[in-house]
Amino acid sequence: MEAFQDNKALQELMQRSDFANRLNASKTSYSQMGIQLQTVPNEKCAFAECDGSGVLHYINWTKKADAIENPTKYYMKDHEIEWTEKCKCVDQSEFERKVTSSGIPVKYSKAKVHGFGIDCYKKSESQTAARIAKQMAINYVEKYEELLSFKKNGLYLYSTTKGSGKTRLASSIANGLIKLHKQSVLFLKATDISPQVRKTYKKDSESTEEDVLRAFRNVDVLIIDDLAVSTEKDFTEDLIGRILDYRMDKGAVTIITSNKTIDELKEHFPKGIIASRVKKMCYEVLMPEESVRDEEAEQENREFENLLFGKNEGA
């Protein structure tokens, strides 16, 4: 226990009840057996159990004392006296690492399908659409393993209205698939696809076109956000067409958001390559035709005006 008492930072943290509770909960069962955690916890660990290294170091003092008196009894059994365990935070940070490297927008890195709002839509038909889309997303994450065996296992989230929650819902689904099904995810803005490939054509590029395409093809779940807004049509159509072709053959999951229906994709990508692939690979999901972004902005305006012009009771 001395190590704890000497540590001023830890003592300060222990003033916080949430921290103290978590720490005590993790200590009591072991300490009754004479086992003491040697790792000094700090806030770098999401669970406040380790020092952020992900390793918990324990000593069983009862056995250690016993072993000093009876060395032969414990010969070769050091692990009973002193050992390390993996902290819970290791899996948690694995999840966080996957989310950050997936390209999911930071804003949505913690979004969950269960947290998708319904009341933020004003019109009742929007709420109905949101409710259906939300339930679909929850089922999709829960029954993902079963859905994988279907050829048409992707999603196409669309609404003509911007700001209706397409990107948010797609990100929430992705977070669920990473967390519950350990899937690798790549979130691509449709407009970034061709620049990323073109970059590899430069002389000093470290990766080849093939490297980039391989990543787009082989990832478990590919999300293409805002398909059909780019102006550079021909190159993009061929490129996305090739990626989809490969993923379709593999039965890999692709989730797309767009402001166009699948049929309207033909107008944007006139060769028709993309529309026909998407039709085979993705289920069309109608998102509400109402912008939550506008409502959010208005709400923020009101709050800001309140701050600026509202009466301050304290002053």
Query: Please, which of residues 161-200 interact with Mg ion by CB under 5 A?
Result: 166-167
Question: Residues binding ligand ATP: what is the number (CB under 6 A)?
Answer: 17
CB atoms within 10 A of CB 158: 23
Residues 6 or more apart whose CB falls under 8 angstroms from that of 251 comprise 148, 151, 153
Region of 46-54, 73-81, 244-252, 257-265 interacting with Zn ion (CB under 5 A): 46-54
Q: Name beta bridge partners: 84.
A: 57
Residue number with CB closer to Zn ion (43 or 305): 43
The amino acid at 166? K
Q: How many whole angstroms from its chain centre is CA 280?
A: 27
User: Both tokens of residue 245?
Assistant: 């072709």
Q: Is 87 in the site for Zn ion (CB under 5 A)?
A: yes
Region of 22-30, 48-56, 61-69, 243-251 interacting with Zn ion (CB under 5 A): 48-56
Residues 6 or more apart whose CB falls under 8 angstroms from that of 107 comprise none
Shortest reach from residue 140's CB to ligand ATP, in Å = 16
Residue number with CB closer to ligand ATP (2 or 119): 119
Region of 116-124, 137-145, 185-193, 269-277 interacting with ligand ATP (CB under 6 A): 116-124
Among 165, 193, 240, 277, binds ligand ATP (CB under 6 A): 165
Look up residue 160 and give its DSSP letter: S
User: Both tokens of residue 63?
Assistant: 């056995």
Instruction: Give the relative orientation of helices 124-142 and 166-181 as an angle to the nearest 10 degrees.
Output: 20
Q: Is 166 in the site for ligand ATP (CB under 6 A)?
A: yes
Interface residue list for ligand ATP (CB under 6 A): 116-117, 120, 130, 162-168, 226, 257, 259, 292-293, 296
